Structure 1
Amino acid sequence: GMATEGTGASSARDLGQGWKISPSIIIEPGQTFELADISGPGAIQQIWMTPTGHWRFSILRIYWDDQEQPAVECPVGDFFACGWGQFAPLSSLAVCVNPGSAFNCYWEMPFRKRCRITMTNIGAEAMRLYYQINYTLTEVPEDCAYFHAQFRRTNPLPYEAVYTLLDGVQGQGHYVGTYMAWGVNNNGWWGEGEIKFYIDGDGEYPTICGTGTEDYFCGSYNFENKETRQYQEFTTPYAGLCQVI
């Protein structure tokens, strides 16, 4: 709206101030750019962005209220379920990835005092970012939870090792889901791992125990198309296998 200089100034030079002067930003190597700083109470309703470059090298961080450490710290590609740096269409209630690199997040994220969102470019090249953050200013119920996300990566994972997806979470809360990008380093079936949840005081035996990796993601029998004998990609409102490379 008020910008007079920006990445679109040349294209919009005949339109003048108030038009598409600064539709995107350039984040230089090593730079952290503040995407939003919102005073609450309120709630994030949607995040839309189209990052360029290597998505693993663009780190999204979200801070609630007076936090010094982020509640969300994750490469932007992994946050939007594109962990391999390649576009793959995804349609779910929580996240949508649309042509050509349109990342959409529909998690409602309430905050009471403040919301701050940043993007850090840890790569060696500048990246261009178009983005929009839609939010509402509203009262937040006393028992309303804050959104958190952890990112972890191990390469390679030792054979037969137990991989921890989430740990260190204290207090009351609600688990809402996991995105996982899995690289196969042997010719065995990779999906036989059991998902185990250990909640509150449970330690010796899991509170919830699954039957296999593909079963946890609401598939079955190797994600296999019985006619082609190949993996079958699929997405649903709550689960899927959105990309096979």
Structure 2
Amino acid sequence: MTSILGSGLMAAAAQHKVCRTARVSSWDQSGLNEDAFVVLPGQSITLADIEGPGTITHLWFVQTCRKILGPGLIPYSKSGVAMMEVHNALGLNYEISDPDYYRKVLIKMYWDNSETPSVIAPIGDFFCLGHSMAANFQSLPFTVSVKPSEERAFGGSAAFNCYLPMPFNSRARIEIENQNDEAYIQYFYIDYELYPEPHPTDKLLYFHASWNRSNPTPGWTTDPSVQTNSLETQIPNLDGADTTRNYTILEVDGAAGSYIGCNHSVTHFQGTWWGEGDDMIWVDDDFDATTDTATLSKLSKFQGSGRKLNAWPPSFHGTGGEDYFSQGWGMQKNAYPFCGTIIHEEDSPNKAYQVSYRWHLPDPVRFENKIKVTLEHGHANHLSDDWSTTAYWYQTLNKSGKGLTILPVDQRIPRKTEITPKAPEKSTVSEGQLSELQRKMLKQRQDRFDEFVADRNSWLERRAKDSKIRAENNVQIAKDIRSRWLASRSK
């Protein structure tokens, strides 16, 4: 059907579309207010399992993962809330957010009965929360909203939104895997549309996302004090090959699709400037063409060896890290629809952290068979920093069975300053020097702590069991919605 108002975002709602909109959420199906799923350590849960054809149109996630440091005065089984939002100094409770949990919990997405995920990433990094450090930002496809008191706090409370469309034909499945040693609590909305006819298979591209980390990046300088932009860093990088060790944001082989951008987290150790690295993207025939390095040596300072390289320059060659993220003269603190800085080094702990994003939505990088997206870590890859990225793209489903992979949980933990309260050095007062009342109070504290934790664990186990039942019910609710809609159309 010819579009009346065009296909733009603002025009879409003003045109009739044959579809059925619906939602899967974590609502308390008993009618009470325990509106969250609980996922115990080492367990997974299905948030949505939807029969298509359809498109997921919106994700809203709010979550927490708490470490209990001492007994509270209100048992969890009598509180009715997922976390105690009372300042620890008041003595009513003693708990904190796990500072690492945004990296310990994974989100996975599967399309059309694929056995391997098309999305696998830490829950925080998927929603552009880098380093497990909460920070407000807004862009067109993603937003993060953080409590003011927890801005730039590791493990700080945050609300996530994603508006990227995720089409599917036969099935969409979204899972959470809790690789933490603490229970994970998840509130969520997953909004979607159903259609009477499948998406055309010759045009359908599936949403993908994958997380990567290099900790540290393999800088060529053995002396970490070699300054960014110094004379000693001025060496050529005229191949971008594995030998020069560009950081890889995305590599796809054997599928057609569109690269739509990434978020990028840096922990910079030198205290100067993490950038000056050019972006280099190879697409399709760039991999088939060859450039003789002997030819390059005649045109530049490149010392050719006569070996063959992929096409040089590649189809995309940029001028610097801040330039790729559409900024200049370093990075600025801003958040635009398609580019921005979420955490700026000037307002981060130790001035060491940076989180940026670039969305290629109006300018997708399209490929027919192969793509490799890379970025130098410092000019000619001289810097050894901690880098991680989440890449986002659409592609045809991979028929080879080769799935996305992710680093084990211990290799995902962010570098950070110490925020967990630490016990002081052991007191010089011996137990024999304590009064009877002091010994009584220490025992009372331990007894209360044991009782409090046992009560909370029982509460968590009940909530986790109930969450699995609700997850199963959500599958049936989605089936019923689809059946009612199709039946109404046949009348």
Aligned residue in 2 for 1:94: 141
Aligned residue in 1 for 2:56: 44
Structural mapping, 1:134-149, within 5 Å: 134-138=191-195, 139=197, 140-142=199-201, 143-149=203-209
Selected match of 1:195 from 272, 279, 284: 279
Deviation at 1:84, TM superposition (A): 1.4
After superposing the two structures, state which structure 1 stretch, 19-28 or 41-50, moved more. Answer: 19-28
Aligned residue in 1 for 2:407: none
Structural mapping, 1:21-100, within 5 Å: 21-53=33-65, 54-100=101-147
Please give the alpha-carbon distance, in whole angstroms, between the structure 1 residues aligned to 2:62 and 2:39. Answer: 13
Aligned residue in 2 for 1:220: 328
- Per the alignment, in what secondary structure is the counterpart of residue 193 of structure 1? coil
1:242 and 2:342 correspond? yes
- Per the alignment, in what secondary structure is the counterpart of residue 251 of structure 2? coil
Please give the alpha-carbon distance, in whole angstroms, between the structure 2 residues aligned to 1:7 and 1:113. Answer: 25
Please give the alpha-carbon distance, in whole angstroms, between the structure 2 residues aligned to 1:190 and 1:84. Answer: 16
Please give the alpha-carbon distance, in whole angstroms, between the structure 2 residues aligned to 1:168 and 1:86. Answer: 29
1:209 and 2:317 correspond? yes
Aligned residue in 1 for 2:374: none
Deviation at 1:127, TM superposition (A): 1.2
Deviation at 1:18, TM superposition (A): 5.8
- Per the alignment, in what secondary structure is the counterpart of residue 51 of structure 1? strand
Cα-to-partner distance string for 1:94-153 (whole Å, 9 max, x where unaligned): 101113411000000000110000000101111111011000002423302100111111
Please give the alpha-carbon distance, in whole angstroms, between the structure 1 residues aligned to 2:172 and 2:117. Answer: 11
Bigger Rg, structure 1 or 2: 2
Please give the alpha-carbon distance, in whole angstroms, between the structure 2 residues aligned to 1:121 and 1:233. Answer: 33
Letter matched to residue 243 of structure 1:
I
TM-score, structure 1 normalization:
0.86
Please give the alpha-carbon distance, in whole angstroms, between the structure 1 residues aligned to 2:172 and 2:27. Answer: 26
Aligned residue in 1 for 2:175: 118
Selected match of 2:186 from 129, 135, 138: 129
- Per the alignment, in what secondary structure is the counterpart of residue 77 of structure 1? helix
Please give the alpha-carbon distance, in whole angstroms, between the structure 2 residues aligned to 1:20 and 1:82. Answer: 31
Aligned residue in 2 for 1:171: 255
Please give the alpha-carbon distance, in whole angstroms, between the structure 2 residues aligned to 1:7 and 1:86. Answer: 27
Please give the alpha-carbon distance, in whole angstroms, between the structure 2 residues aligned to 1:219 and 1:148. Answer: 26
Structure 2, unmatched stretches of 5+, are 1-25, 66-100, 148-157, 221-244, 287-309, 349-491
TM-score, structure 2 normalization:
0.44
Letter matched to residue 141 of structure 1:
P
Letter matched to residue 120 of structure 2:
E
Selected match of 2:266 from 169, 182, 189: 182
Letter matched to residue 238 of structure 1:
F
Please give the alpha-carbon distance, in whole angstroms, between the structure 2 residues aligned to 1:112 and 1:105. Answer: 20
Higher helix share: 2
Letter matched to residue 136 of structure 1:
E
Deviation at 1:83, TM superposition (A): 1.4
Structural mapping, 1:155-166, within 5 Å: 155-160=215-220, 161-166=245-250
Structure 1, unmatched stretches of 5+, are 1-5, 9-16, 224-231
- Per the alignment, in what secondary structure is the counterpart of residue 117 of structure 2? coil
Aligned residue in 1 for 2:425: none
Aligned residue in 1 for 2:241: none
Deviation at 1:171, TM superposition (A): 2.0
Seq. identity, %: 37
- Per the alignment, in what secondary structure is the counterpart of residue 150 of structure 1? strand
Aligned residue in 1 for 2:212: 152
Deviation at 1:7, TM superposition (A): 9.4
Please give the alpha-carbon distance, in whole angstroms, between the structure 1 residues aligned to 2:133 and 2:127. Answer: 12
Please give the alpha-carbon distance, in whole angstroms, between the structure 1 residues aligned to 2:317 and 2:110. Answer: 32
Aligned residue in 2 for 1:14: none
Which ranges of 4 or more aligned residues in structure 1 deviate by more than 6 Å?
none
Please give the alpha-carbon distance, in whole angstroms, between the structure 1 residues aligned to 2:338 and 2:133. Answer: 21
- Per the alignment, in what secondary structure is the counterpart of residue 201 of structure 1? helix
- Per the alignment, in what secondary structure is the counterpart of residue 267 of structure 2? coil
Deviation at 1:86, TM superposition (A): 1.9
Aligned length: 224
